[in-house]
Amino acid sequence: MQNIVATIFNVESEGFQAITTLSKKAINRDYAIMEMALVKKNGNSLTVCDSFSSGIKTTDDTVTGGLIGSLVGILGGPIGVLLGGSTGAFAGAILDSKDGADSASMIEMVASKILDGETALIILADEADESGLDAELRAYKSVTLRYDAAIIYAEVEEAYKIQKEMERQAREKLRAEKKDDHKRIIEEKRAKLAADFEGLKAKFSRKE
Question: Mapping DSSP to helix (H, G, I), strand (E, B) and coil, where does residue 1 land?
Answer: coil
Give the pLDDT of residue 89: 35
What does the radius of gyration of the chain's CA atoms come to, in whole angstroms? 26
Q: Is the pTM of this model over 0.85?
A: no
Q: What is the pLDDT of residues 21-49, one digit of tens each?
A: 999 999 999 999 999 999 998 877 778 99
CB 122 within 8 A of CB 142: no
What is the layout of strands, in order, in the sheet containing 119-127?
A: 45-53, 31-42, 119-127, 2-9, 142-148
134 with 20: CB under 8 angstroms? no
Q: Which of 59, 55, 58, 54 is nearest to 32 (CA)?
A: 54
141 pLDDT above the threshold of 80: yes
Q: What is the pLDDT of residues 76-100, one digit of tens each?
A: 766 655 555 433 333 344 334 344 4
CA atoms within 13 A on the CB side of 19: 27
The rounded Cα 189 to chain-centroid distance in angstroms is: 44
